[in-house]
Chains A and B, each alone.
Chain A
Amino acid sequence: MKFVDEFRNADQAHALAAKIASLCEPGRHYKFMEVCGGHTHTIYKHGLEDYLPESVELVHGPGCPVCVIPMGRVDDAMHLAAEPDVIMTSFGDMMRVPGSNGSFFDAKASGTDIRMVYSPLDSLKIARANPGRRVVFMAIGFETTAPSTAMTVLRAAAEGLTNFSVFCNHVTIVPAIKAILDSPDLRLDGFIGPGHVSTVIGCRPYEFIAADYGKPVVVAGFEPLDILQSIYMLMLQLSRGQATVENQYTRVVPWDGNLVALRAIGQTMELRPYFEWRGLGFISHSALRMRPEYAQYDAELLFKVPGVRVADPKACQCGEVLKGVLKPWECKVFGTACTPETPIGTCMVSPEGACAAYYNFGRLSRQRVKEVTRS
């Protein structure tokens, strides 16, 4: 298939793998974090780690929109959904995220009107078709999805629609990366930068990683060759003693980002003073809420939101997994108490979560893969 197979070519992968191996200094261990959950998914889905030398390790980062939603926020959403006349809408990924009293799917089975949408514009469609109901869109995601929420609010305002609002849970990637860089228990050699987020924010926001922390960053695309090439670019920088921000995903990511999208976000949303991240705790200026000018589309103002706070279960080590301190299988409850069927932690819910990716695709040590494919 055109525009896909070219980026999954095994011959080119072998060539890149050989180049990566040739850059490995003997006795040195390399640890790179792929920030974005989409990258984690690609790495596992295509078995990309089979191409890496044992001294190159990939650490899975916090860039999975569903994984960073704290349980209390899910409870708040359930509370909203149970308000009279409300139709709650959200992306499919959100449907299985557990709150204190089950997930959206469970609530739906008990009769709460919760609908899955592919785009916030679908929520708008539902609002138009149900003038007597109040339609709430549970917005999740990084700067990748924030523009579509912003455009939807602008569209609603232009149409004068009064029965549509947003329960805003948009988060921003840079404070999360900073939290990881400041975390004492992790030593990283570089970052595979998030491709989709960067289509919106561009590459400049990562310059502090190179300048202040001395770590190379390569913004990468989502096909397996993109990621392999980015690892090569990181290795090349390290071998030359450099630390800069590079863009591997030039076919999609403009260096300065998408100004139209950024303007739409800026017009409708503003930074929250602080926001709770699953496993990472409160991070200041790390999330977005609706601007006062768009208060009539802010579900947090239109409805009473209890602001539930739920402690992460002690046994659940999502935080450590999100920060890349633990491998998914090193979590105490991984695969036994916490599975994709009955996830305790959010990392097990979304296909972009490190735990779900490892459980579904990678549940086989590299040693075993070698044995099986050799025979």
Chain B
Amino acid sequence: MAIFIYGTVNNTGKNFFTHEDRRNFFLRGYTGHDGSNYVDTWVIGNNEKGALWLAEKNGTEKTKSEAQTLVSAAVTLAQTAWTNNNVDGESADEKVARIGSKPGAITIP
């Protein structure tokens, strides 16, 4: 049995996942992009409560490969935005100080 299930559903804020949820199953959130919109992408412990959580949120189950593609697309957008975010006369160090380092790749578990 796979250790994780994968899904997309946007975080609606307070109580989207609860302390009890976190105790009941593994949960990690990543920002993904589906080509049109940002979509929160979740790695969820593969047990009954984890699967039920995704279903109750009306989430869309994804394969690991599909989830990784979404996350990588968001990273690519962030990298492009970082590359294009420049101020005339700014050094590389100053740019990092202003907006942080260039986003790197993310590999979901």
Does A associate with B in a complex? no
